[in-house]
Structure 1
Amino acid sequence: MLLTPHSQSTTPTRRRRTAAALLASAISVCLVAAAAPVVPLGIGDRLFPHLGNPGYDVASYDLSFTYPGNNSEPLRAVTTIDAWTTADLDRVNLDFAHGTVQAVEVDGEPAQYRTAGEDLVITPEDSVSDGNWMRITVRHTSDPGPAKGREGGWVRTADGLAMANQADAAHLVFPCNDHPSDKAMFTIRVTAPDGHTAVANGLPAPVEKSGGSTTWTYRTKHPMATELTQVSIGRSTVLHRTGPHGLPVRDVVPTEHRKTLEPWLAKTAGQIAWMESKVGRYPFETYGLLVADVSTGFQLETQTLSLFERELFTEPVYPSWYVESIMVHELAHQWFGNSVSPRTWSDLWLSEGHATWYEALYAEEEAGKPIRDRMKAAYGASDRWRAAGGPPAAPKAPDPGRKTDLFRPNVYDGAALVLYALRQEIGRPAFERLERAWVGRHQDNTATTADFVRLAAEISRRDLDGFFQGWLYGEKTPPMPGHPDWKPQAPAKPQAPAEQARPAQAGAR
């Protein structure tokens, strides 16, 4: 995600199951016993303790939405979840908080259900034992209106809807295990009145027309975190082109702005080739931009179809080099954050720091904006960012009801500064080998800060524990290798919260 200024693989599955099993501790199993009260659960994420649920590992989601043709009525929806149990379950908790549940089935049999906090708590007729497949089907509504005290979920555009589910808002749209540690395959079906176009993550299947409506179906070929789900419904035009290696590139744009946007969209194939020259082959089955008439305050790296505000491209206030670097930021997330997802939300710096790094590197190589200058400015501000938002790998929790406050400068330029320091410390050749090895070793999986530290030591053949301890967890920014003259700058005055929430170089999530 970048903030905007306004004027089925066997190995990954096993690894996910292992992670889920570790999180499903004995106390979690007790909590789902039949005699226990109906309570919201979580997997104990430090920043979002009630997000996700123990006891199962989702393999796939099948989402069906029926759009009524306006944004004032809820969508009819059916969510089907296939999951592998990692504990004996008398109850199953799903994250779901902004819709009406009409019926629930477990393995084809009706099940009782209640709500607790932001959880849907399901009690099947028969308990489900550890090590078994289960299928949960929930018939529900999906409300496009704003959720009280919450951000994200469905976003109303000028002509329809889009999704912005980061960090914890997918469960405002559909029942799910809403934590990036539990990635899954997705099938998404959208039915809308004729005259609308629906696009979602992945590749399309043939459309079906019936009685004045059209149904579109999309399927992912790689696992995806719930926060990266995207569905666009509107009076849009879908543009097709070809990227490197014959990669299908599709863009979704408001029809009336197609001509203005086309020169920007034509840059994507070259940007993909540039990223491939840095870290290796693009990791998914397709890519493209979803350009929406919406004011969100950010761009978003939804998997295979990144969300952008139209004004980023049409307002003359933004110089072309800046716009292109923001496009690369979201593209870089397809490797860093989407293919290799953070195991916990404290690992967010691995996603945003890398996306910011390649954003800045692209600006240096393609527009002559030295990355050294940007990093020196970030170094000057780094102590302030750490005080306001925490060290890069130990960010402070966001305020209740404002979960996007997690996206502070410490995980953008502050985290990119860590990567710059690492390149200074181990040298450019080792750093570039590390980057390629990181996305290759953890493709379609999740990874932690500890995984990155271990790989950096392996690639560089050096003990880097002391280096990373200071740069990732220190209250103060360590000296910059090779630049002993760089000094932190004391703030001239206390920053307002709105200022603290902005990256140094304004950009995207």
Structure 2
Amino acid sequence: MLLTPRTIRMGTALVAAAASTALLAASAPPPAVPLGIGDRLFPHLGNPGYDVESYDIALTYHGDNKKPLDAVTKIEATATATLEQVNLDFSHGTVRSVEVNGRPARFDTSDEDLVVTPETAVPEGAPLEITVRHTSNPAPGKEEGGWVQTKDGLAMANQADAGHRVFPSNDHPSDKALFTFRVTAPKALTVVANGVPFLKMRHGADTSWSYRTLHPMATELAQVSIGRSAVLHREGPHGLPVRDVVPAKDRKVLEPWLKKTPGQLTWMEGKVGRYPFENYGLLIAQARTGFELETQTLSLFEREIFTEPAYPAWYIDSIMVHEMAHQWFGDSVSPRTWSDLWLNEGHASWYEALYAQEKGHQSMAKRMREAYRASDGWRAAGGPPAAPNGPKPGQKISIFRPVVYDGSSLVLYALRQEIGTPAFERLERNWVRTHRDGTASTADFISLASQTSGRDLQGFFRAWLYGKKTPPMPGHPDWKSTPVGTAKPVGTAKPAKG
């Protein structure tokens, strides 16, 4: 991703005491317990009973990335059931007060849930406005993710289940919402967040920056960057605003890579259609994370991926496209459950490999053949693509295994072999158009693939997505899979987390 009367002498006193005890019992809230929406991989993630429409998150950063930020999170939602208690996902911060629909509310914690008891139950269908005053602690804890401490400030890395380590939320991708960020920081620093800026105000030694998204977003994709940054602007296809956030001292050394983004966007649009959001760009952080991440409209990258001479240019280009492809696959079309992760990573790895082939002369067929050889081992180690094994204890991002990267792009390769390139390309465009700004499941993909190809593909997908063994590859009967146990992703020196 917890609390008996004395005997009184006679008659009326006894009656009065009994009545008083009954009133106290009636007013006491039920015990705080963690809830969840039943996600197979993260059972306590997300919460039932309400649908979030928007978050308004105010953060005050005092200039020290090891100390808690002061924060106020306002949530606008609709109750989908009568609620005597409301569970929010939140941990790694201190809650100071909670209001529900403008009235003070009781609150308690249980595991990684903040359990709120309003003065009166919220009826089904009624507005649910929650205001939480809290801290947001960037110090590392026993769980992974949330704030990333950079050399000059902070950034966010909330995938898969760490948004609630930064702010109270319904932290599951099935409940997307609009976001507003209002961040106050020392005036020497620059703040950038998802979406578009709409207000910047200087007051004394601080500056307040405000951003809002124009499209709904999953909590795992939230991004706030605070640091000594330069914000570089250029234009993408159709006049799309492209902004990059980089360490100010590195703008020249990074420019040869950053200027490639408009062309990569044009290439992606040629494959799957118009870019789905209000802007795009790269956030390059001075931090060691071990991954790159598709935070919505502002993909997070380690600085070293662009400065490490061991990485060939085609590889860096393809990793840039991997995170860009996620803006369509994973961000605009988000997974209904975390078992649908293969739809995100399989597609991002697919377009990573396709770009490497078309622009970097790296054979996709060779990469897929190597993936096929390793596929049985990946399935044995991590489960099949659409039913991955659960995360290891204390290592929640361990669901990002090879089987959901090249192991899942291998499924797409097999699908293209099975239905032909024209039908496959129609499917890809139909998928992102049909489910734009929403969530979708593996069953939705199977249904649309069958509809687009004019064939019942249930059996094909059952074998490829859920089988313990890799099925024969259409058109390549000579391909063989060898169990390899802990095989690494093929063609990728350092796989992207997101």
Match runs of 1:127-142 below 5 Å = 127-142=121-136
Aligned position for 2:144: 151
Q: Is the aligned partner of 1:60 residue 2:54?
A: yes
Query: Kindly tell me: are residues 201 and 503 of structure 1, through their superposed partners in 2, closer, same or farther at Cα, counting changes over 3 Å?
Result: farther
1:507 is aligned, of 491, 495, 498, to 495
The 10-residue stretch of structure 1 (64-73 or 389-398) with the greater mean CA deviation from structure 2? 64-73
1:105 is aligned, of 99, 106, 122, to 99
Match runs of 1:415-430 below 5 Å = 415-430=408-423
Q: Is the aligned partner of 1:229 residue 2:222?
A: yes
CA distance, structure 2, for counterparts of residue 152 and residue 52 of structure 1: 17
1:311 is aligned, of 304, 314, 327, to 304
Match runs of 1:46-195 below 5 Å = 46-147=40-141, 149-195=142-188
CA distance, structure 2, for counterparts of residue 490 and residue 114 of structure 1: 48
CA distance, structure 2, for counterparts of residue 49 and residue 83 of structure 1: 22
Cα distance, 1:490 vs structure 2: 3.5
Match runs of 1:363-378 below 5 Å = 363-378=356-371
**Per-residue displacement from partner, 1:422-445 (whole Å, max 9, x unpaired)?**
000000000000000000000000
Unaligned runs of 5+ in 1: 1-32
What is the identity percentage for the equivalent residue pairs of Structure 1 and Structure 2? 68
Letter in 1 for 2:158: N
Does the Cα contact within 8 Å between 1:399 and 1:405 map onto a contact in 2?
yes
Does the Cα contact within 8 Å between 2:390 and 2:399 map onto a contact in 1?
yes
The one of the two structures with greater contact order (alpha-carbon pairs below 8 A, sep at least 6) is: 1
Cα distance, 1:489 vs structure 2: 1.9
> Which aligned runs of 4 or more in structure 1 are off by greater than 6 angstroms?
none
**What SS does structure 1 have at the residue aligned with 2:167?**
coil
Match runs of 1:334-483 below 5 Å = 334-483=327-476
Cα distance, 1:38 vs structure 2: 1.2
**What SS does structure 2 have at the residue aligned with 1:488?**
coil
**Per-residue displacement from partner, 1:447-485 (whole Å, max 9, x unpaired)?**
000000000000000011110000000000000000000
**What SS does structure 2 have at the residue aligned with 1:415?**
helix
CA distance, structure 2, for counterparts of residue 490 and residue 144 of structure 1: 41
Aligned length: 470
**What SS does structure 2 have at the residue aligned with 1:298?**
coil
TM-score by length of 2: 0.93
1:209 is aligned, of 165, 189, 202, to 202
Q: Give the structure with higher Rg (CA).
A: 2
Does the Cα contact within 8 Å between 1:112 and 1:122 map onto a contact in 2?
yes
1:41 is aligned, of 32, 35, 39, to 35
**Per-residue displacement from partner, 1:141-167 (whole Å, max 9, x unpaired)?**
0001012x2100000001000000000
Letter in 2 for 1:350: L
CA distance, structure 2, for counterparts of residue 187 and residue 127 of structure 1: 27
Does the Cα contact within 8 Å between 1:412 and 1:503 map onto a contact in 2?
no
**Per-residue displacement from partner, 1:32-75 (whole Å, max 9, x unpaired)?**
x9764210000000000000000000000000000000112100
Query: Kindly tell me: are residues 333 and 269 of structure 1, through their superposed partners in 2, closer, same or farther at Cα, counting changes over 3 Å?
Result: same
Aligned position for 2:14: none
**Per-residue displacement from partner, 1:143-197 (whole Å, max 9, x unpaired)?**
01012x2100000001000000000000000000000000000000110011000
**Per-residue displacement from partner, 1:319-340 (whole Å, max 9, x unpaired)?**
1000000000000000000000
TM-score by length of 1: 0.91
Cα distance, 1:504 vs structure 2: 5.7
Aligned position for 1:325: 318
Does the Cα contact within 8 Å between 1:433 and 1:459 map onto a contact in 2?
yes
Letter in 1 for 2:167: F
Unaligned runs of 5+ in 2: 1-26
C-alpha RMSD of the superposition = 1.1
